[in-house]
Structure 1
Amino acid sequence: MTAIEKLATALIWTIASLAVIFLMAPLVITVAVSFGDSTVFSLPPPGWSLRWYERLPTTRGLAASLWTSVQIAALSTLLALILGTLCAIALVRGTFPGREAITTFLISPLMLPGLVVGIAMLQGFRAFGLRDTWTSLLVAHVIITMPYVVRTVLAALSLFDFTLIEAARTLGCSYLQAIRKVLVPALAPAFLTSGMFAFLASMDNYPISIFFTDAWTKTLPIQMLQLVEERPDPMIAAVSTLLILLAVLAMIVGDRLVGLKRLADF
């Protein structure tokens, strides 16, 4: 390795390390503050305590908003997996014109600002007479989670050999059995990856949810914003730490079931 190559490698590693530090610093600070005993955000904290975690179960509205977020995230992820997979299969196997335009349309919620998508959904739901808060939240979250499924499953299907299904049918399997025994196992990593990202995106979503909540139905991010406005103390850091832990656990489960390298391929 020449001196220039060594210098370039060192520069790349330096830039990469600085980028990792820049991205991880807010998370580390949030976790550290959540274990402090100070009533204000201070780093380093004057002492260490679990007081903010002990207050979480008794905080007004927090458990209800968490349950709402879990319900919405789970149902929207399930519906997004079903609808997104069907759309991906149609786009891969279909011969109709405009497939690229439809693909772009399906993943467009990822390209547009959340506030723009939220305002558009609000106007559209009102035009269709959809005014129920919980149903509006669910439909909105299905729309914003489907792009993760469509994009991931579409990439997996483009690498799948559909002649394997025909081979399974010649060996005695029905069409549904061939789908279940051949296609579903091959797409399992894509399902896991897209489902994981869809669930986390729904749990953390704020710009869309803000348009479809009321005083009785709030998601966790909306409730956290209200708590920050009412009493900006490190309890919010404790909630944020638990959400960080949720993302870490999802990555661990994905690594155990599929492997991080294979997850990254999608």
Structure 2
Amino acid sequence: MALFGSLFCRLVLGLVIAFLFLPILIVLTVSFSSSAVFAFPPPGFSLRWYASLGKADSLLQAVWLSTQIAALSTAISLMLGTLCAIAITRGMIPGAKAVATFMASPLMLPGLVLGIAFLQAARDFGLRDTYTTLLIAHVVITMPFIMRTVLASLSLFDFAMVDAARMLGRSYPAALWTVLVPNILPGFVSGGLFAFIASFDNYPVSIFLVDVRTKTLPIQLLNQVEMSPDPTVAAISALLILGTIVALIVCDRLVGLKRMASI
């Protein structure tokens, strides 16, 4: 009976993994198709769709915009989210637990609700610049990732270690760098990675804030699929998958995936 249960669990696990990875494998395969339309299995092998990316100005502009927004929002969220997590952990603000729950609320609300709220708020405050509106919205979206992961890193940290380092001759900044930073590094890096991906791939909020000249990559890809679908979309999706794998490898070398997964 135990053997049957083990085999059943492995079968279910294999089916779940196949369900998750099969769409990715299909996209990767279609990106090398010689056909001018989405066809699986592809009739032949070709790199034409990767070569055409260099001429797809609208896609390249969207990639550049999404990269800027994701990088800036992640950098701002890393600073604000880390400071907020330290303040909550040290009890520097009243109602710290309520504040922590409130800060995580963007992760609990539907993206469409957030998008409509940001659109209305931008109108009420007279904010007409699309780039600035997108950046502010993405900071709100990404900061909970940073705060929650850094909070998890700080949950077992004893701030008396910072005072001990200062008693041993370290300056306050040097004590923070020597004692605090190594302890929050896994949460800092993993939170930054998740925040960047969440911002780069965000669709439900961005759709309400973009305009004709300012479109993030998910919005541009959707427009291209609707207007002129071809395997170029699969090619750029494959490059995004490759970028995600490279980011995970870098994080594994810097922090370690097992340590990141324990956050």
TM over 0.5: yes
TM-score bracket for the superposition, by shorter chain length: over 0.9
Report deviation, 1:129: 2.2
Task: Report the counterpart of residue 205 of structure 1 in structure 2.
Answer: 202
Return the match for 1:227 from 220, 224, 231. Answer: 224
Please state whether the residue corresponding to 1:61 is helix, strand or coil: helix
Task: Report the counterpart of residue 9 of structure 1 in structure 2.
Answer: 6
Report deviation, 1:93: 0.6
Return the match for 1:125 from 122, 126, 141. Answer: 122
TM-score (norm 2): 0.97
Letter in 2 for 1:212: L
TM-score (norm 1): 0.95
Which deviations, in whole Å up to 9, do the C-alpha atoms of 1:101-131 show, x marking residues without a partner? 2111111111111111111111122222222
Return the match for 1:238 from 235, 238, 244. Answer: 235
Task: Report the counterpart of residue 43 of structure 2 in structure 1.
Answer: 46
Looking at structure 2, the residues matched to 161 and 14 of structure 1 have their Cα atoms a distance apart, in angstroms, of 44
Unmatched 5+ stretches in structure 2: none
Which deviations, in whole Å up to 9, do the C-alpha atoms of 1:81-109 show, x marking residues without a partner? 00000111111111644222211111111
Return the match for 2:66 from 65, 69, 91. Answer: 69
Task: Report the counterpart of residue 261 of structure 2 in structure 1.
Answer: 264
Report deviation, 1:177: 1.9
Report deviation, 1:169: 0.7
Looking at structure 2, the residues matched to 209 and 62 of structure 1 have their Cα atoms a distance apart, in angstroms, of 16
Which deviations, in whole Å up to 9, do the C-alpha atoms of 1:49-73 show, x marking residues without a partner? 0111111110131111111111111
Looking at structure 2, the residues matched to 8 and 184 of structure 1 have their Cα atoms a distance apart, in angstroms, of 45
Task: Report the counterpart of residue 170 of structure 1 in structure 2.
Answer: 167
Report deviation, 1:174: 2.1
Task: Report the counterpart of residue 187 of structure 1 in structure 2.
Answer: 184
Task: Report the counterpart of residue 30 of structure 1 in structure 2.
Answer: 27
Report deviation, 1:31: 0.5
Letter in 2 for 1:233: D
Looking at structure 2, the residues matched to 166 and 65 of structure 1 have their Cα atoms a distance apart, in angstroms, of 48
What is the alpha-carbon root mean square deviation over aligned residues?
Answer: 1.2
Does residue 87 of the first structure (1) align with residue 70 of the second (2)?
no
Unmatched 5+ stretches in structure 1: none
Name segments (4+ residues, structure 1) moved above 3 Å.
none
Report deviation, 1:189: 1.4
Does residue 108 of the first structure (1) align with residue 102 of the second (2)?
no
Please state whether the residue corresponding to 2:118 is helix, strand or coil: helix
Report deviation, 1:160: 1.1
